[in-house]
Amino acid sequence: MKVIIIGSGLAGPAMALALKRHNISCKVFDLRDQAAFDGGFVALAPNALRALDRIGVYDRIRTQGWNYEEFRFLSSRNLSRIATVLNGSQRKYGYPALRISRGIVRQTLVDVLQEQQIELHFNAKCVQFEETDHSTVIATFADGYIEEADFLIGADGIHSRVRSHLDPNAVPTFSGQLGVGGSLSKSKLPKSGQEMYMPCLILGKLNSFMFMPCTYSGDRVNCFATVEGEDRSREEWTELQNDKSALYEILQSHHENERWPEVVHVASKSVDLSSLSLWPNNYYKVPELSSWSSSSGRGFVIGDAAHAMPPTGGQGAAMAFEDALTLANTLALLDQKESAPHQDLVSQWQVARKDRVKKILAFTSKGGDMRKSSASTFQQLVKEWVMWAYFLLRGKDAGLSWIYEYDTEKLVL
């Protein structure tokens, strides 16, 4: 069996490593240059780390980010605690949660992939994907190169070219929000900030501000604001991403219409300019696809290409890894049982994954609702009380074990 993977973000390399476990050969293609750097940070929950452990990546990244278990919601009025939620637990889930640079995760995946001698081609933009009538797929690249295989996996992100082949009408729409953030040395925070519990999300009346340590020792802190903005073309987003002074201005303007604690002002003023990044991508919504596979069951989309989700649940990368490992297991099953009903297995995989992603999306939008602005200080107070009561009733795991306990190896088709 031969597989073509389009995209070497997070889902693509995870897919390649998961196929390698089954001795299935694949080639990965990415339109970017090898040196392209991924900015920003991700919080990897136990379900993401369990998947990375299975493909030999977890041990390499474990000490390159901040390991934590509890996450707190604080009020912007006086930094008082609204609620504490368990985001990871060595004892309960087998893994803590990990806040880490997205670039480190992606580079480690690529390193492991290259050590395992899996072919990875950069500057390779897939422009077309066709299915032949002799049960193969053909990918065509911008420079005219052509590759044929048994299956093609589109792990090509939110603006996926492969998805446009499966469903030309599934065009992402901008949600009106974007995240801007960077990192700074913890020592630059005022004393009150250095003593404040982290990771935490400070909920304001109009907005929210996140503080998360992002190195193993916790000496650096990633801070992050969700702000409102207008849609732009992809070229304009890239231009803004590279304009660090403009990003700095956006981060400052976050405080204009609201009183924030000193720690928020100091952090946004002291953030290292070079670390500032903007990532509007996950604030685009992809309409629900009728299918994640082509009519022949030989072309697939996974990760953000199939179901981009807002970052408010911290599950985008986790879903990409889960898709990759479960799809690799499904393809391995097809490889073993030449005569197995191909479409049956493909659709069973799809039903199981769509069901899980739908539930995760519902959880993620609840996280988004918590961050929505309140019309008045009274309404903000009511929101804080409702959150306090809700989390008190649900207990420390907040009823989230179904998310964090998920194990890709337990999906039996």
Ligand X SMILES: Cc1cc2nc3c(=O)[nH]c(=O)nc-3n(C[C@H](O)[C@H](O)[C@H](O)COP(=O)(O)OP(=O)(O)OC[C@H]3O[C@@H](n4cnc5c(N)ncnc54)[C@H](O)[C@@H]3O)c2cc1C
For every residue of 154-204, DSSP letters joined together read E---TT-HHHHHH-TT---EE-SEEEEEEEEEGGGS-HHHHHS-SSEEEE-
- Taking the complex as a whole, the smallest distance from the CB of residue 174 to ligand X amounts, in Å, to 13
Among the residue ranges 8-16, 110-118, 258-266, 292-300, the one whose residues contact ligand X (CB under 6 A): 8-16
Applying CB under 6 A, among 3, 4, 5, 8 the residue interacting with ligand X is 8
Asked if residues 179 and 278 have their Cβ atoms less than 8 Å apart, the reply is yes
Calpha distance 327→306 (Å, rounded): 13
Calpha distance 363→312 (Å, rounded): 9
Applying CB under 6 A, among 314, 325, 349, 357 the residue interacting with ligand X is 314
- How would you classify the pairing of strands 25-29 and 126-131? unpaired
Applying CB under 6 A, among 76, 101, 275, 281 the residue interacting with ligand X is 281
What distance lies between CA 298 and its chain's CA centroid? 25
Asked if residues 388 and 379 have their Cβ atoms less than 8 Å apart, the reply is no
Using rule CB under 6 A, residue 156 touches ligand X = yes
Calpha distance 19→178 (Å, rounded): 34
Using rule CB under 6 A, residue 297 touches ligand X = no
Using rule CB under 6 A, residue 12 touches ligand X = yes
Whose Cβ is closer to ligand X: residue 103's or residue 190's?
A: 103
Q: H or E stretch including 212?
A: strand 208-213
Asked if residues 140 and 6 have their Cβ atoms less than 8 Å apart, the reply is no
Site for ligand X in 32-91 (CB under 6 A): 32, 40, 42-43, 48
From residue 189 to residue 228, what is the string marking binding to ligand X with x (rule CB under 6 A)? ----------------------------------------
From residue 89 to residue 108, what is the string marking binding to ligand X with x (rule CB under 6 A)? -------------x------
- Taking the complex as a whole, the smallest distance from the CB of residue 294 to ligand X amounts, in Å, to 16
- Taking the complex as a whole, the smallest distance from the CB of residue 66 to ligand X amounts, in Å, to 12
In the complex, the residues that contact ligand X under the rule CB under 6 A are 6-12, 29-32, 40, 42-43, 48, 102, 125-126, 155-157, 161, 179, 279, 281-282, 303-305, 311, 314-318, 320
